[in-house]
Amino acid sequence: MLDGINLDIAEGEFVCLLGASGCGKSTLFNAVSGLLKVDSGSIRLGAEDVIGKPGQVGYMLQKDLLLPWRTALDNIVLGASLTRGATRADKDKAAALATHYGLGGYLNHYPSALSGGMRQRVALMRTIAAGREVMLLDEPFGALDSQTRFTMQRWLLQVWGETKRTILFVTHDIDEALFLADRVVVMLPRPGRIARILDVNLTRPREVDCMASAPFMALKADVLKLLYD
């Protein structure tokens, strides 16, 4: 259950939802994606109310959900394949996008031949190729080891910086939230609610050294106090 959620996200902004299991992060995502109808309030994409209207935003889960019988390229164009049939132009555009972001040598590989990080890259390319300006990313790196996870975080920031998509990102990891986001929405459970919204005023582009900086550590201390005090 969610209570009193009030959140405005600017076009092109990167916002992280941070909190423990049961605080309503996934419920909020399902509502924004149109998969779950809310009892009261509104969810607007621009001027349009999108309550109960799936397909208005891109949605990527922690599990990559790649179809094992389709190549990486065919997984990337899956959205077009299911709605109207993927054309040669769709595949050419997807191949160019994937090549630009380091997947050019893997387009003809099947998911079983890809590492966990590569599978997540393909899944993100599929979400981007769907063409939605708002993307919901639900703990996409949660199952990866720490080194692969950090590589993927840096890669995601590159993709976001160049595509200018609006991203709402769910995580349990404080360092991940502060490294990625423009703002961090700290949520508390029972009922799910926003405790505080923190501006992350760290210089971009961000590299690993920012995570040892005084501003980063001060923000982390604020989050820890909100979550555990």
Q: What is the SS3 assignment for 79-135? A: HHHHHCCCCHHHHHHHHHHHHHCCCHHHCCCCHHHCCHHHHHHHHHHHHHHCCCCEE
Calpha distance 105→108 (Å, rounded): 8
pLDDT tens per residue, range 178-216: 999 999 999 998 888 899 999 999 999 998 899 999 999
Tokens encoding 20: 């423990």
pTM of the model: 0.91
Q: Which has the closest alpha carbon to 132: 75, 54, 51?
A: 54
Query: Could you give the C-alpha distances from 197 to 96, 171, 217, in angstroms and in order?
Result: 37, 15, 17
SS3 of residue 43 by DSSP: coil
d(CA 23, CA 39): 18
Q: Which domains does the chain have, with CATH numbers?
A: 1-57+133-229 (3.40.50.300), 68-131 (no CATH)
Task: Dump pLDDT digits (tens) for 90-117.
Answer: 889 899 989 999 888 999 999 999 999 9
Q: What percent of the chain has pLDDT over 90?
A: 52
Q: How far from each other are the two terminal CA atoms of the chain, in whole angstroms? A: 22
CA-to-CA distance for 27 and 129, rounded, in angstroms? 25
Between these two residues, 114 and 42, which has the higher pLDDT value?
114
Strand partners, 135: 58, 167
